Amino acid sequence: MRPLGVTEQAMRKLINTYGIDATLLDLAVSFGDKPQSADAGHGAMTVRQKEDGSYDMQYLFTYAERNAAQGNVPWTIRQTCVFHRYNPAGSGNLWIFFHARPRSKMQQLIEAEITSQHAGVSKSWYSMHLLVLSAYIGNWRWCIRSLGEEIEKTVDIALTLDLSRPDTDKDGLIQLLTPQYLGDKLLSLSSRLQVALETVRRLNDMNTLFQSKGLTTDSDSQLFASEMAYYVTTIEGYMKSVEVLEGKVKGISDLLAVALNLKGQTVANEINDKMLQLTSEAFEDNATVRVVTLVTLIYLPASFVSTLLGMNLFEFGDSNEKGFTISKQFWIFVVTAVPLTMLTLGSWYIITKRQDLFTSIIEI
C-alpha cells in the first residue's frame, strides 16, 4: 500500500467499516512505480449486488499522462481505482478513489464537483463515472499521436539507413533495434484500451438495468447512454489507430530483417571470395613448392654422388694432348646416382600419398 500512502491497518478498517468485498484489495495492490505491462488486461469493471439491494462497482482506469520532466519519455502510464456503492433505497452513494500521487487531476475535479453540488449540480449515480472518463480518456489520443511521431522518425531512419556503408550511424541502428514499441508501449496499449472499453460498456449495461428497474429517469438514462456511445466510439477509434501503428512497426521490423539478412549474405559472399582467393594463391604457392621440391630431389642425388666421387671421373690430358677423357669408372656414377634418385623420388611419392590419405580421413 506504500504507493497509495495508505497503511494496511487503515485499508482493513475501511473495508470492515463499509462492508466492502476483499476484491478491492486486488485492485489496490496493482499500484506501484508504474502500471506493469503484465497487468495490462487487468482491472475491468466488476459489479456485485448486495443483500440490501445496493450495487458495488469497482474498476481500475488506466490512462496516459504527459511527463512533466519532458525527458526521452514524453508520456507515462498511470491508473486510478474507482469504487462506487449505489444504494437505490436512498442512503446515497459511497465513492472511494485511489490515486498514485497527491493532488491528481481527478482529485481536483472531484473537489470542484463537490463544491459545485451546492449550486444544484445533479447527484445522479453516474456523475463521478463521467468525471473519470472525461478527465482521462482524451489523453490517449495525444499519447498515441506522440508514439506515431516517434515511429515516423524510426521509419525515416529505416528508409535512409545504408547498411552497405562501413560508417553507418550506429546510434540510428541501435534505435531501430530497440524493441521499445513492441515490448513496452504499443503491445500493452491495445489491452489497456480494451479494458477501458469493457468498463464503459458495463457502465452502459448498468444504466440499462437501472432504467428497467425504474431507478433512474428516462432523460438521465438517455443522457448517460449517449455519453457512453461517444466514449465507445472514441476508444474503438484509438484501438484502430494503435493497430495501424502496430502494422507500421511490424513493417519496419520486416524491412530491417530483410536488410540485415541481405547485409549478412553480402558479407558472407565477400568472405567466401576472399577465402577462394587465398585458396587459389595457396594452391599456386603449393604447386611452385612441389616443382622446386621435385627438381631438387632429382638434382640432389646426382650432386651428392658427384661430390662424393670428386673430379676423378674425368681425366685431363697433358699440355700436348687435346680435350679430356672420361674415366673408365664413370659407370660407377651412373649406377649409384640413378638408383639413389629413384629411391628419393619414390620416398617422396609415398610420403605425399600418405599425407593425402590422412587428410581425407580427417575430413570424413
Query: What is the mean predicted confidence (pLDDT) over 178-200?
Result: 79
- More confident position, 71 or 209: 209
What distance in Å separates the CA atoms of residue 299 and residue 293, rounded to the nearest whole number? 10
- More confident position, 230 or 245: 230
- More confident position, 180 or 137: 137
Provide the CB-side half-sphere exposure for 19 (13 A, CA): 9
pLDDT band, residue 3 (cuts 50/70/90): low
How far are the Cα atoms of 146, 310, 315, 318, 329 from residue 322, in angstroms, in the given order? 111, 22, 12, 8, 21
Adjacent-strand bridge partners of 315:
325
Q: What are phi and psi of 49, to 5 degrees?
A: -95, 130
pLDDT band, residue 85 (cuts 50/70/90): very high
The rounded percent of the chain whose pLDDT value lies above 90 is 24
Burial of 183-207, coded b for 16+ CB within 10 Å and e otherwise, reads eebbbbbbebbbbbbbbbbbbbebb
Query: What is the mean predicted confidence (pLDDT) over 64-79?
Result: 78
For 129-133, 137-141, 253-257, which range has the lowest pLDDT when averaged over its residues?
A: 253-257
- More confident position, 138 or 260: 138
For 52-66, 87-101, 151-165, 225-239, which range has the lowest pLDDT when averaged over its residues?
A: 151-165
- More confident position, 290 or 165: 290
Domain ranges of the chain: 2-269, 330-363
pLDDT digits 0-9 by tens, 196-225: 999 999 999 999 999 999 988 999 999 999
Decide if pLDDT at 14 tops 60: yes
The rounded percent of the chain whose pLDDT value lies above 70 is 77
Q: What is the mean pLDDT of the chain?
A: 79
Q: Please report, for the chain, how many H helices and E strands are present, in that order.
A: 10, 6
